Amino acid sequence: MKMNAIVAGVGMTRFGKMLDTGLKGIGAEAVNAAIKDAGIQSSDIEAAFVGNAAAGLVTGQECIRGQVVLRSVGIGKIPVINVENACASASTALHQAAAMVTAGLYDVVLALGVEKLYHEDKRKSFSAFSGAVDVEALSQIMERLKEGAKETGAAAASTGAGENRSMFMDIYAAAARNHMKRYGTQVQQFARVSAKNSFHGSLNPRAQFREKLTVEDVLAAPMIAEPLTRPMCSPIGDGAAAVIVVSEKKAAQMGIQSPVRIVSMALHSGWDHTGDEPGTVELCSREAYAEAGLGPDDISVIELHDASAPAELMAYESLGLCKKGEGGPFIDSGATWLGGRIPVNTSGGLLRKGHPVGATGIAQIVELTEQLQGRSGDRQVERARVGLAHNGGGSIGSDAAAMCVTILVR
């Protein structure tokens, strides 16, 4: 969808473990920060879209999650729409907010993503991820993962999925083994993604993990599901991120100079496809590029959904940064590091910034907005003008259940 929504303000919490803070406290911090950044009053907000994926399972808060969080900061009366779309919940909420502004229905809209995943019972946290596949086919999915692991000699991946780790790490591990077999990708190249993102995360005060890792450190870490070691897997986390989007008319009234515009957002769900047919990422990115009148070579900085290190490497290919099968050499080239041709995940990505699933999509927009405004400090990308966010969620068949690609321009 071609958009014309302007980012007036952004805010987010640090991501991490917040056992003693509830959804309301976490969400309030991000909302208040975004309101302050925009220089508006909460009473100026005309509607809100709130993304959350797992509160019902983890905290027991169902049905009115957005209303509960927003009422705690004095926001009521306005329409509040709760959005759940797996790990793409926040980007879907932003898609709806930007569409409403683009259509002229509202001038000031809040998009919030908020999540609590940490729980004293880890099985409750992991159950949230097990619900992001077709649960009626769950036993068959688990069996296929186990059989695939055994056939490839992946001992660690043959047991424990969904019990001591998210089953999605096994899904990513299977995809990684396939990529290695088909294209000759090396485990060192997956490790290099983690090392890069650890360097970027070390520069981000809001990142969950700030320790710098080498390729050797990544490879020496405990094995989770072959070939994924622990630093190749995104952690669970708690956190929130918020964006205030406004119309062109409102931005002019506010005196916003050199605005950051959301110019296109492509949101699609997966479908049944086979072989080498392009999937959701290709569909969304091509649509977003076309609507923005831009291409991969025009992008200054990218925040993409590195729920695992192999996921980032494969996204390079699907987003058109390199050809299919060339993600390994592409990470080796240094192009996606700070200072490279097209820096990716300057925030540290999901691997280091963290992955509170219902907040992730908007956290990407916070990072890109600050990059385009020159507010990113030590991790600033020089002359950043165009940003791209890639945020997917859930799994059905061989593809993501939901996918959103967003392009912002200053």
**Catalytic site residues?**
87, 355
List all residues 6 or more positions away from 273 whose beta carbon is below 8 Å from its beta carbon: 279, 397, 398, 399
Token readout for 74 is 């004095």
Written as one string, the DSSP assignment of 297-318 is GG-SEEEE--SBHHHHHHHHHH
What are the backbone angles phi and psi of residue 49, rounded to the nearest 5°?
-120, 125
Place of tokens 């290919």: 317
Token readout for 360 is 């992730």
What are the backbone angles phi and psi of residue 390, rounded to the nearest 5°?
-130, 115
Give the angle subtended at the CA of 331 by the CAs of 326 and 337, to the nearest 5°: 145
Give the angle subtended at the CA of 184 by the CAs of 211 and 162, to the nearest 5°: 55
Give the Cα separation of 17 and 21 in Å (integer): 9
Q: List, in sequence order, every beta strand (DSSP E) within 221-347.
A: 223-225, 228-229, 239-246, 260-269, 301-304
